[in-house]
Structure 1
Amino acid sequence: MMTLDDNYVKILFRFHSNIFDEEMVETMWAAIVDRDKGLYKLDSIPFYAPLVASDDVVFAEFDDQEQMLTYRKTVEYSGNSTIQIVLMDKFTDINTIRDMFRELGCVSEKVNEGYFSMEIPFSVDYKNIKQKLDEMETKEIIVYAEPCLADGHRY
């Protein structure tokens, strides 16, 4: 009998971070699309990895040096976007901000009390979200980055 875990794998992403100016590594869960062809659908919101979003289909292969499945390229974009948010105002509760964006249709994953990564689904209009991000950044509550902005979310 197959379990849920038999349908999922962890994929390693190695990339240069412009924010930290160093080589970084992140692992993400992905559903197996076609193991023989090395195709997997990301099931995680990237914390740091740029240019990928949840539900993207990626090509990954086993890397002898890394000793695990390693990302090589994205083969199908989901249309989802990933936004990285750093809390600047220590008096603001990060979960309050996450709840506000959840009400606008965004899912997020908290890394710690000062940082979270957020997904904007392809079906959600980014205009109101971007307006709220800009407003909060102007008030110095947050700073944010758009490491993976889908074509449908560009203005």
Structure 2
Amino acid sequence: MYRTDQYFVRSIPFFAPNLAFDDLIQVEIDDETLYFNDLIKPSNNSTLRVVFFNNDIKCIEKILTTLESYLCGWEGFVGRHYYAINIPKKVNYILVKEFLDGKSGFLDY
């Protein structure tokens, strides 16, 4: 049973470096606004933030499609080249990292 001040993270965090998709967190509620307070139970997923230096949309799409083939999820800003990548706990993190390392000069994370 979960309390009303506990929530699962249901989107891939862009700017929260210590959180990942599906983590269980506790929040403080102030005037109907939720503020992160504590990590209750980690999901054991990993999050990488990727920035693309090239405007070649087809290359970006190809990289994102490859990440999807590794069972990774992603979210991005429309019109920007910044993406948050979810690496599920069942996925080999090293494999994803090696793939992205092979794209250095085109992206960073």
Q: Provide TM-score, normalisation by structure 1.
A: 0.64
Matched length: 107
Q: Which residue of the partner structure matches residue 3 of structure 2?
A: 34
> 1:90 offset after TM fit, Å?
2.1
- Between the aligned partners of 2:91 and 2:54, the Cα distance in structure 1 is 27
User: Structure 2: how far apart are the matches of 1:41 and 1:130?
Assistant: 26
| More strand, by proportion | 1
1:102 to 50, 65, 68: 68
Q: Distance in 1 between matches of 2:98 and 2:6?
A: 36
Partner of 1:72: 37
Tell whether the 8 Å contact from 1:101 to 1:129 is kept in structure 2 after alignment: yes
Of 34, 37, 46, 2:13 maps to 46
- Structure with bigger RCO (C-alpha 8 Å, 6+ apart): 2
Following the alignment from structure 1 to structure 2, what is the Cα–Cα distance between the partners of residues 95 and 47? 19
What residue ranges of structure 2 are gaps of 5+ in the alignment? none
Q: Distance in 1 between matches of 2:102 and 2:62?
A: 16
- Normalising by structure 2, what TM-score? 0.89
Structure 1: 5+ residue runs without aligned partners?
1-32, 145-155
Separation in structure 2 between the aligned mates of residue 106 and residue 129 of structure 1, nearest angstrom: 9
* Cα distance in 1, alignment partners of residues 98 and 8 from structure 2: 30
State the Cα RMSD in Å.
1.7
Deviating runs (4+, > 3 A) in structure 1? none
- Taking every aligned residue pair, what percent have the same amino acid on both sides? 30
Give the stretch that moved more between structures: 49-58 or 85-94. Answer: 85-94
Deviation at 1:129, TM superposition (A): 0.6
Aligned counterparts, 1:110-125, within 5 A:
110-112=76-78, 113-125=80-92
Q: Distance in 1 between matches of 2:27 and 2:99?
A: 36
